[in-house]
Amino acid sequence: MFFKTDQLQHLLDNLQAKGYTCIGPQVRHETIIYDEMTSVEQLPQGINDLQQPGSYSLNATNGSKYFDWANGPQAIKPLLFLPKEKLWSSAQDADGKISFSAVKHEAKKLAIIGVRACDIAALKIHDSHFLQQSFIDPYYQARRQDLLIIAVNCSRPADTCFCYSTGDGPFVPSLLKQGADIVLTELQDGFLVTAQTEQGENILSELALQESTAEQRAESERIKSNASKQNRQLPKLDIKSRLFEELNNEAWHNIAEKCLSCGNCTSVCPTCFCHSENEVPELDGKSSSHYREWDSCFGQGHSYIHGITIRSDTSQRYRQWLTHKFSSWVDQYGRSGCVGCGRCITWCPVAIDVTESVAQIVEKHHD
Ligand code: SF4
Ligand code: SF4
């Protein structure tokens, strides 16, 4: 099906009428981030981006498209797994008895517009992590259950993208229940649209849809084919086993000489979920709050256990990141933890390229 560009505002209006808070891409701080929106005028229309290892910039174009750019630094991760969140508080009464109270979740119905295929793949990974049968995270679950996703297929990947080689993009898989409710492909004068859930179908039924034409479908195929031509890819080798077999490869040290251990790569990564837990005492000495906060395996404190920092140097931390992401993650979640979004390459201040790091190590491997 197809709808004209002017229907996009109707879509937003309908979502708001159903009680959704709409979140969509907007230009902020010279990047594109997700934030609350009520009007299509807030979308980054006529904007594209230039991304390279260690660099990012936005440019105005003469075009009228709303989604003609690749992902910015922020995935949808911070909307479900908050960067900092209070989990519970404790208080001591006059008799010295300590009581604990959990933070109540007020679930807000969120509709996120413009989510890309790589971030939907990352969302499914987070679902496997946070919603595992016996270890359900109530904080994540409360936000996830009322989430509506309107995905947009990528038309213009960045130089740093490699989702085609991980199998996660540039288009959202067309099978039902792949993580999106509605999937859009932006054409010159409107959008090809499909619903992947019943909820998505209900929302689309209120728009003025038209049957798509053969020409429009051919345009969509051309967009897909062009967006699949990406400059980077992962080696077509058994990365999982080879990384584990190359724990003493000298390349770890060579990469570490450049790496600042800043953790930017883990902050922007849509799948990284490491966190720390901190107790913050109040000044009254009788109460405290317990917080969960994003952490990074690149931090000195992340591997501090019983007085010892287990991974004291950067080469060990970089190795931990890569071997978890590409190797042990497969054992834990049935797939690698990398969806090929390329963010860690763009936002690394010293331009370390994860595809090059993997290649350096696994291609040197000798059976
Ligand atoms: S490791 Fe890098 S490319 Fe892979 S998902 Fe994370 S940020 Fe994206
Ligand atoms: S790889 Fe780059 S972004 Fe990641 S910790 Fe090292 S310097 Fe920072």
- pLDDT at residue 178 above 80? no
**Ligand 1 center–CA 133 separation, angstroms:** 26
- Ligand 2 atom closest to Cα of 266? 4
- Percentage of the chain surpassing pLDDT 70? 98
Q: Is residue 322 within 8 Å of 243, Cβ to Cβ? A: yes
Supply the pLDDT for residue 332.
93
- For ligand 1, is residue 204 a contact (CB within 6 Å)? no
Name the pairing type of β-strands 131-132 and 135-136: antiparallel
Which of 269, 321, 333 has most ligand 1 atoms within 8 Å of CB, for mutation?
A: 269
* Confidence band of 9 (pLDDT split at 50, 70, 90): very high
- pLDDT at residue 135 above 90? no
Bond preceding residue 170 cis, omega within 30 of 0? yes
Identify whether 100 is part of a domain: no
The answer to whether residues 52 and 135 belong to one domain is yes
- For ligand 2, is residue 261 a contact (CB within 6 Å)? yes
The answer to whether residues 254 and 345 belong to one domain is yes
The answer to whether residues 18 and 161 belong to one domain is yes
Residue closest via CA to ligand 1's atom 8 equals: 341
The answer to whether residues 264 and 318 belong to one domain is yes
* Confidence band of 176 (pLDDT split at 50, 70, 90): low
* Confidence band of 366 (pLDDT split at 50, 70, 90): low
**Ligand 1 center–CA 140 separation, angstroms:** 21
Across the range 300-310, mean pLDDT stands at 89
249: tokens are 């490869």
- Where is pLDDT greater, at 295 or 104? 295
Name the pairing type of β-strands 147-152 and 182-186: parallel
* Range scoring the smallest mean pLDDT among 31-35, 59-63, 347-351: 59-63
Our measurement of the distance from residue 236's CA atom to the centroid of its chain's CA atoms, rounded to an integer in Å, reads 24
The answer to whether residues 116 and 168 belong to one domain is yes
Q: Is residue 270 within 8 Å of 75, Cβ to Cβ? A: yes
The answer to whether residues 182 and 266 belong to one domain is no
Q: Which residue is it, tokens 């932006």?
A: 186
- Where is pLDDT greater, at 132 or 165? 165
The answer to whether residues 66 and 190 belong to one domain is yes
- Ligand 1 atom closest to Cα of 265? 7
Q: Is residue 242 within 8 Å of 361, Cβ to Cβ? A: yes
Q: Could you give the CA distance from residue 193 to residue 168 in angstroms, rounded to a whole number? A: 19
The answer to whether residues 265 and 341 belong to one domain is yes
The answer to whether residues 176 and 253 belong to one domain is no
Q: Is residue 151 within 8 Å of 120, Cβ to Cβ? A: yes
Identify whether 291 is part of a domain: no
Ligand whose nearest atom lies closest to the CA of 161: 1
Residue closest via CA to ligand 1's atom 7 equals: 269
The answer to whether residues 134 and 247 belong to one domain is no
- Ligand 2 atom closest to Cα of 258? 7
The answer to whether residues 68 and 30 belong to one domain is yes
Identify whether 156 is part of a domain: yes
- For ligand 1, is residue 342 a contact (CB within 6 Å)? yes
SS (H, E, C) 286-320: CEEEEEEEECCCCCHHHHEECCEECCCCHHHHHHH
Q: Residue 247 belongs to what domain range?
A: 239-278+296-362
Ligand whose nearest atom lies closest to the CA of 272: 1
**Ligand 2 center–CA 264 separation, angstroms:** 6
Residue closest via CA to ligand 1's atom 4 equals: 338
Which helix (H) or strand (E) segment holds residue 251: the answer is: helix 251-258
- For ligand 1, is residue 340 a contact (CB within 6 Å)? yes
Supply the pLDDT for residue 365.
59
Work out the mean pLDDT of the chain and round it to a whole number: 94
What is the count of structural domains for the chain?
2
Identify whether 289 is part of a domain: no
- pLDDT at residue 367 above 60? no
The answer to whether residues 70 and 201 belong to one domain is yes
Across the range 320-335, mean pLDDT stands at 96
- For ligand 2, is residue 357 a contact (CB within 6 Å)? no
- pLDDT at residue 106 above 80? no
- pLDDT at residue 272 above 80? yes
